[in-house]
Amino acid sequence: MSTTATNTRTRIIETTAILLSLQGFNATGLNQIIRESTTPKGSLYFHFPGGKEELAAAALLAAGAETQGKIQTALQTSDRAGDAIAAFVLVLAEELQASDFCRGCPIATVAMETSATSDRLRQVCEQIYRSWFTPVQQKLIDSGLTTAESRAWTTLTWASIEGALLLSRTHRNLEPLETIATQLQTLLNQNPKIQ
């Protein structure tokens, strides 16, 4: 694949990921993606012959990988699991505020919209969430929790983060995310089983 083709494909994926985070799957049309990515219609169908669903899957995987990198970076900021997870939540808060509370989590948005109508996208979202759970769970295991305990704490952590993102976006303020960052930090750092 040529550099131009790769750049075109990347531009289409990045544009789609942004649109999914802004407005979700159903409100994002192929014509809008073509227009905002400044690519010819033929390029979109050349790179994504499966259409909108194939393109959305690629965009979600790219966005998921980007977030996974941020998770990995945040988890390395501290040996204490609570401090590291709080650092990640605050990164999300900064990004949400920088977007003027417009860009939420594209994975959550698409998962809620399509999990009953597109098994392909549901599976992609599930795969991404699994990739986000794994490093957090490993951090907690490395900090002294059992596999079962770390799984429970990881579920609580991600459910809290996703809920706080939704509330912060809805209320157009960072208080829910900041609250979750503080509460998770306190709960995890004060857990006697976590070193």
Q: Using one digit for the tens of pLDDT, what is the confidence trace for 76-113?
A: 999 999 999 999 999 999 999 999 999 988 899 999 99
Average pLDDT value for residue range 6-32: 93
Judge contact between 59 and 110, C-beta under 8 A: no
Identity at 53, one-letter amino acid code: E
How far apart are alpha carbons 111 and 159 in whole angstroms?
14
Q: Which two tokens stand for residue 117?
A: 């109508």
The answer on pLDDT for 190 being more than 80 is yes
pTM metric for this prediction: 0.91
In angstroms, what is the C-alpha Rg of the chain? Answer: 18
State in words which class domain 3-189 has.
mainly alpha
Predicted confidence band of residue 4 (pLDDT cuts 50, 70, 90): low
- Domain ranges, ordered by start, for the chain: 3-189
Tell me which residue of 32, 51, 45, 22 sits closest to 120, measured CA to CA.
51
Q: Is 105 left (phi over 0), alpha (psi -120 to 50) or beta?
A: beta
The answer on pLDDT for 2 being more than 60 is no
The dihedral over CA atoms of 131, 144, 181, 164, expressed in degrees to the nearest 10, equals 50
DSSP state of 195: -
User: Dmax of the chain from CA atoms?
Assistant: 59
Identity at 68, one-letter amino acid code: Q
How far apart are alpha carbons 158 and 28 in whole angstroms?
26
pLDDT of residue 195: 79
Return mean pLDDT, the chain: 94
Q: What is the pLDDT of residues 32-85, one digit of tens each?
A: 999 999 999 898 999 999 999 999 999 999 999 999 999 999 999 999 999 999
How far apart are alpha carbons 130 and 153 in whole angstroms?
14
